[in-house]
Chain A
Amino acid sequence: MTSKAMSLSYLQGKNGIFSWIFSLDHKRIALLYLYSILTFFITGATLGVLMRLELLNPGKDLMEAQTYNQVFTMHGVIMIFLFIIPSIPAIFGNFFLPIMLGTDDVSFPRLNLLSWWIYIIGAIMALSTLLWGDGPADTGWTFYAPYSVKTGTNVTMSVLAAFVLGFATILTGLNFIVTIHRLRTPGMTFLKMPLFAWALYATSWIQLLATPIIGITLLMITAERVFGVGLFDPSIGGDPILYQHLFWIYSHPAVYIMALPAFGIISEILPTFANRTIFGYKAIAFSSLAIAFVGYFVWGHHMFTAGMSGTARIIFSVMTFLVAIPTSVKVFNWVATLYKGSINVQPPLLYALAFIFQFMIGGLTGVVLGALAADIHLHDTHFVVGHFHYVMFGGTGFALFGALHYWYPKMWGRMYNKLVANIAFVFLFIGFNMLYFPMLVLGLMGMPRRYYDYLPEFHVPNMISTYGSWILATGLLLMFGNLIAGAWRKREPIGRNYWKTGITLEWQTLSPPPVSNFDRMPVLPKNGPYDYDNKPEIEE
């Protein structure tokens, strides 16, 4: 008891603004990231709701075509670069990676803080495009040349913002890799690491090795706009498709930057609420690396209709199918983990289950798009929009919400209202599927993406989709409201292991954790991180 009374939580102690924005504590930096990332998420979501509102009826409802172009670009830039790429690694990776490894911080705490500052600078640059000149870029978040070189909107600033944000990503990835190599607690070998750490390890390698390519590509776009060299202009020997190659060499692996950490979250949530060991630990761990590796070689499937050579299309198509294998290995393992578990249905588990369901739809529609013949028909239709929202929002987004509900008691030492959390989940689940499933249908019917208008025959599914967006927005408000309201709820005893069945190291420390993460030496289970048969006894 005495040690408990003396341990200062990371939330206590100095609490002025400077003690936060200059903090080197990975937990405080994680919260800085959390609050800034969620702010941008809400901004992006608002833009999304506005787009759906425009598409409620055929014809112009709300905004001009040009405005719509800028809104979907801004929505993409915010959601991709400011929300989903940093999201899980920067928030939960920062907070829990050191704790799960049994150490007190990342390897380079100052670099960690620097990465948050770079992120904020990049975010300000990206948002500043709203305020001056011809407004934000209207190119789509992909900045495809040659249009991105010719348009008068603020493409240069958006591109530089993405470049700066790349630094933040690289620094976080670099930090995590070194942390995992150097700071595991004695006795924790690579194969005794929690699966979330494995997922972050694979993610970090992608962040480190893919981001420089987009960096240099975006610099080339900038140079082209400043000097007018015509680098991607066919009339002087350039090639616009080369831009697409370079862009997707980064941006396809970036999809796994978004997805892999989510896989890690699910692999943490499921054993806790099934109260049994994870099925196929090694398969899940290594499939993360396999996805990371194979994911580098599939970028061409974004360009099947761009005029690539036939041979290359076939190679990229085959490689794309290959990625489905390690991914489905994971899904089978998750389902098998639930089998014969004693399942405790709690809000985090609901999000995990929704993740599996939605991610399956997202993944399988991805296989459809990876097939050459089908892609000719579906390319640039709403099918694609539906597909990647199922992967990114239905997958990563829901995993993020699940993680928030899972680690909430650990992070703040408080608890949200579970009933409201469940209701919010129902809204989110129904709203999400109502919003995006019609898009798959619309795509098959032939409705192209990125238009503010459509033919009358597409009306009904668009209406359903827009109604869905309202339900989803309600769910989001309810969920965030409930999580925020948790701060004022009467404290209930949280204890170290709120869910009782958590087994990774973060459940052995206080809630919220002390500044140096542990008040006593964490004990590793005998046979790996999910060894429920030899669970270490945790006294309060």
Chain B
Amino acid sequence: MEHVSGFSLPNSGHNRDAEASKMGMWLFLFTEILLFGGLFIVYMVYRSLNPEAFLMASFELNVWMGTTNTVVLLVSSMTIAMSITAIQKGNRKLSIQLMVLTLVAAVIFMVVKYFEWSAKIEHGLFPGQAVYDNLPPGESLFFFLYFFMTGLHVFHIIIGSVVIGFAIHRTAKGRTTKEKYTLTENAGLLWHLVDLIWIYLFPLFYLIH
């Protein structure tokens, strides 16, 4: 950076460094992997301790809703990846459209999730409700983990959407360009991570048959 005496260091923390931002994003994703990792360990232990209960409880979940959401997330992963391609090629308009499509997918995902959760809550399966409190050992754990893990996942969908919203805003303002698209790229990475988590959540909760 510039200095009063006219001397400047070659490697400054105040330079714009896209590679550093990307590395930071990756490191952040690692923390996310381990955050969910802790939950997967809990899931693994309790499933191995209560295999039958987990099987019985999983019949309550709707495979088709789960599959729909999987497909929706995979498609959204493609659109956000394409929007990076678009901005790299200098096509700002297309990049924005693809990001908006990603947000639409996020909304569809959450609407499906809403119907899924409300069905469970109607059956009294949310922690603290009457049916939940009388579930046999193990099944209540399944539902707790179901709500906790998918809940945390939806929370990440919301955060990811907000970030994509920022990316859209910046692109629309012209601050994200063909040369400088770090935010779009990082939003994409975050979004893909949300997808990766779901790829594991889906078989572990919906496909125990």
Chain A residues with a Cβ under 8 A of chain B? 2-3, 6-8, 26, 98, 101-109, 111, 170, 174-175, 177-179, 181-186, 208-213, 215-217, 220, 223, 227-231, 235-239, 242, 245-246, 249, 514-521
In the complex the two chains form, is B10's CB within 8 Å of A237's CB?
no
A193 CB to closest chain B CB (Å) equals: 13
- B2-24, CB under 8 A of A: which get 1 and which 0? 01110111111110010110011
Give the contacting residue for A217; candidates B32, B38, B50, B128; CB below 8 A: B38
Could you tell me if A104 and B27 are in contact, using CB atoms closer than 8 angstroms?
Answer: no
Q: By the criterion CB–CB under 8 Å, are A220 and B34 in contact?
A: no
B4: which A residues are within 8 A, CB to CB? 6-8, 514
Q: How far is the CB of A108 from chain B (nearest CB, A)?
A: 6
Point out the residues of chain A lying under 8 angstroms from B1, CB to CB.
Answer: 104, 516
Inter-chain CA distance A217–B148, complex, in Å, is 12
In the assembled complex, 12 residue pairs joining A and B whose CB atoms fall closer than 8 Å, in A order, are A3-B7, A107-B13, A177-B23, A181-B23, A184-B11, A209-B30, A228-B128, A229-B141, A230-B140, A242-B45, A246-B42, A249-B38
Q: Which residues of A contact B39 (CB under 8 A)?
A: 216
Are B27 and A208 touching (Cβ within 8 A)?
yes
Could you tell me if A107 and B45 are in contact, using CB atoms closer than 8 angstroms?
no
Additional A-B contacts beyond A181-B20, A227-B128 (15; CB < 8 A):
A3-B7, A98-B13, A103-B13, A175-B24, A182-B19, A186-B11, A209-B34, A213-B37, A229-B128, A229-B140, A229-B141, A236-B141, A239-B46, A514-B4, A518-B9
Output the nearest chain A residue to B27 by Cβ-Cβ distance: A174
Which B residues are in CB contact (< 8 Å) with A245? 41
A7 near B11 with CB under 8 A, answer no
Query: Complex formed: what's the CA distance from A242 to B137 in Å?
Result: 16
Assess the A516–B9 pair: CB atoms within 8 A. Answer: yes
Shortest B12–chain A CB gap in Å is: 5
Q: Which residue of A lies closest to B39 (CB)?
A: A216
User: Is B28 in the interface zone, CB < 8 Å from A?
Assistant: yes
A179 lies within 8 A of B13 (CB): yes
Inter-subunit contact A209/B31 (CB<8 Å) = yes
* B45-94 with Cβ < 8 A to chain A: 45-46, 49-50, 53
Partner of B38, one of A98, A174, A213: A213
CB pair B28 A174 closer than 8 Å: yes
Q: How far is A246 from B148 in the complex, measured between Cα atoms in Å?
A: 16
Our pick among A174, A216, A519 for the contact of B35 (Cβ within 8 Å) is: A216
Nearest CB in chain B to that of A5: its residue: B5
Q: Given the interface contacts A107-B17, A216-B38, does A102 sit within 8 Å of B138 by beta carbon? A: no
CB < 8 Å neighbour of A239 from B13, B35, B49, B135: B49
Contacts of B31 in A (CB 8 A): 170, 174, 208-209, 211-212
Q: Are A3 and B127 in contact (CB under 8 A)?
A: no
Query: Within 8 Å CB of B14, what residues of A?
Result: 104-105, 109
Residues of chain B lying within 8 A (CB to CB) of residue A108: 13, 20, 24
Collect the chain B residues with CB atoms within 8 Å of residue A179's CB: 13
Give Cα A425 to B135, complex, Å.
62
Determine if A237 and B11 form an interchain contact, defined as CB atoms under 8 angstroms apart. no
A183 in contact with B11 (CB, 8 Å): yes
- Asked whether B181 is an interface residue with its Cβ less than 8 Å from the other chain, the reply is no
> Chain A residues near B24 (CB, 8 Å)?
107-108, 111, 174-175, 178
Which residues on the B side are within 8 Å of A178 (C-beta)?
20, 23-24, 27
Residues of chain B contacted by A106 (CB below 8 angstroms): 13
Residue of A111, A182, A228 with highest tally of chain B CB at under 10 A: A182
Contact A516 B38 (CB under 8 A): no
B4: nearest residue on chain A (CB-CB)?
A: A6
Expressed in whole angstroms, the Cα–Cα distance for A177 and B39 within the complex equals 26
CB distance from A220 to the nearest CB of B (A): 7
Give residues in B with beta carbon < 8 Å to A.
Answer: 1, 3-5, 7-14, 17, 19-20, 23-24, 27-28, 30-32, 34-39, 41-42, 45-46, 49-50, 53, 127-128, 135, 137-138, 140-141, 144, 148
Q: Which residue of B has the minimal Cβ distance to A207?
A: B31
Chain A residue numbers with a CB within 8 Å of B37 are 212-213
Q: Which residue of B lies closest to A167 (CB)?
A: B31
B38 touching A185 by the CB < 8 A rule? no
Flag if B141 contacts A519 (CB, 8 Å).
Answer: no
Cβ contacts under 8 Å, B53 to chain A: 237
> Separation in Å of the B32 CB from the closest CB of chain A?
7
In angstroms, Cα B137 to Cα A102, docked, is 59
Do residues B12 and A103 form an inter-chain contact, with CB atoms below 8 A?
yes
The 8 closest A-B pairs by CB, nearest first: A105-B13, A237-B137, A212-B35, A216-B38, A227-B127, A237-B138, A3-B5, A212-B34
Is B49 a contact of A104 with CB atoms below 8 Å?
no
When distances are taken between beta carbons in the complex, the residues of chain A under 8 Å from B23 are 177-178, 181-182
Q: Contacts of B27 on A, CB cut-off 8 Å?
A: 174, 177-178, 208
Q: What's the Cα separation between A162 and B34 when bound, in Å?
A: 17
Q: Is the CB of A236 within 8 A of B10?
A: no
A220 partner residues in chain B, CB cutoff 8 A:
42, 148
Asked whether, in the complex, the Cβ of A183 is within 8 Å of the Cβ of B140, the reply is: no
Nearest residue, chain B, Cβ from A250: B38
CA separation between A106 and B49, bound complex, in Å?
A: 47
Minimum CB distance partner of A188 in chain B: B11
Which among B7, B28, B141 is the interface contact of A231 at CB below 8 angstroms? B141
Greatest chain B CB density within 10 A among A7, A181, A238, A519 is at A238
How far in angstroms is the closest Cβ of chain A from B203? 21
User: Which B residues lie within 8 Å of A237 (CB)?
Assistant: 46, 49-50, 53, 137-138, 140-141
The closest CB in chain A to the CB of B54 belongs to A237
Nearest A residue to B46 by beta-carbon distance?
A237
Q: Which residues of A contact B10 (CB under 8 A)?
A: 185-186
Distance, CA A107 to CA B5, complexed state (A): 23
B45 contact set on A, CB distance < 8 A: 239, 242
Q: In the bound complex, what is the Cα–Cα distance between A119 and B109 (angstroms)?
A: 35
CB of A484 to closest CB in B, whole Å: 31
**How far apart are the CA atoms of A215 and B5 in the complex, in Å?**
46
Chain B nearest CB, measured from A252 CB (Å)? 15
